[in-house]
Amino acid sequence: MINPSPQTINTPDWVKHAVFYQIFPDRFARAAPPEDSNVQRSGKRANYQNHAIARAILQEWGTEPTYEGYMGGNLWGVIDQLDYLQELGITAIYFTPVFQSACNHRYHTHDYYQIAPLLGGNEALQQLLAAAHQRDIKVVLDGVFNHASRGFFFFNDILENGPNSPWLDWFTIEKWPLSAYDGSLPANYLSWVNNRALPKFNHQNPAVREYIMQVAEYWLGQGIDGWRLDVPDCIEVEGFWQEFRDRVKAVNPDAYIVGEIWEDASQWLDGTQFDGVMNYPFAEATIAFVAGERVLLEEVKKTAYKPYPAIDASEYADRLKELLKLHPWPIQLTQLNLFDSHDVPRLFTVAGGEIANKKRKSNHKTAAKTTVELATLLLLTFPGAPSIYYGDEVGLPGAHDPDNRRAFPDASEWDKQVLQYHKELIALRHAHPALRIGEYEVLFAKDMAYVFARSLPGQPEETAIVAVNAGNEAISIQVRAELEHKPSQIVYGKGQANWLGNQTTSAINFDLSARSGLILAD
Bridge partners of 143, per DSSP, are 229
Burial of 43 from C-beta contacts in 10 A (0-12 / 13-18 / 19+): exposed
Task: Identify whether 318 is a catalytic site residue.
Answer: no
Q: What 8-state DSSP symbol labels residue 135?
A: T
Dihedral angle computed from the Cα positions of residues 15, 21, 24 and 29, in that order, rounded to the nearest 10 degrees = -130
Q: What 8-state DSSP symbol labels residue 495?
A: S
Which is catalytic among the residues 26, 260, 312, 441? 260
Dihedral angle computed from the Cα positions of residues 351, 355, 360 and 361, in that order, rounded to the nearest 10 degrees = 90
Which is catalytic among the residues 142, 225, 230, 439? 230
End-to-end CA distance of the chain: 21
Pairing of strands 496-501, 449-456: unpaired
Q: Which helix (H) or strand (E) holds 363?
A: helix 363-379
Whether 354 contacts 400, CB under 8 Å: no
C-alpha span between 25 and 17 (Å, rounded):
24
Displacement of CA 64 from its chain's centroid (Å): 23
C-alpha span between 517 and 93 (Å, rounded):
28
Q: Find, among 256, 181, 246, 255, the residue nearest to 209 by Cα.
A: 246
Angle, alpha carbons 395-21-90 (nearest 5°) = 100
In degrees and rounded to multiples of 5, residue 394 shows phi and psi of -120, 15
Q: Find, among 362, 397, 363, 398, the residue nearest to 515 by Cα.
A: 363
Q: Where are the alpha helices (DSSP H) in 206-271?
A: 206-221, 240-251
In degrees and rounded to multiples of 5, residue 456 shows phi and psi of -100, 125
Cα atoms in the Cβ-side hemisphere of radius 13 Å centred on 358: 5
Task: Identify whether 260 is a catalytic site residue.
Answer: yes
* Helix (H/G/I), strand (E/B), else coil: 48: helix
C-alpha span between 333 and 326 (Å, rounded):
12
Q: What is the DSSP secondary-structure string of 294-313?
A: GS-HHHHTTSS----S---H
* Helix (H/G/I), strand (E/B), else coil: 428: helix
Amino acid (one-letter) located at 145: F
C-alpha span between 341 and 471 (Å, rounded):
27
Peptide bond into 402 cis (omega under 30): yes
Return the active site residues. 230, 260
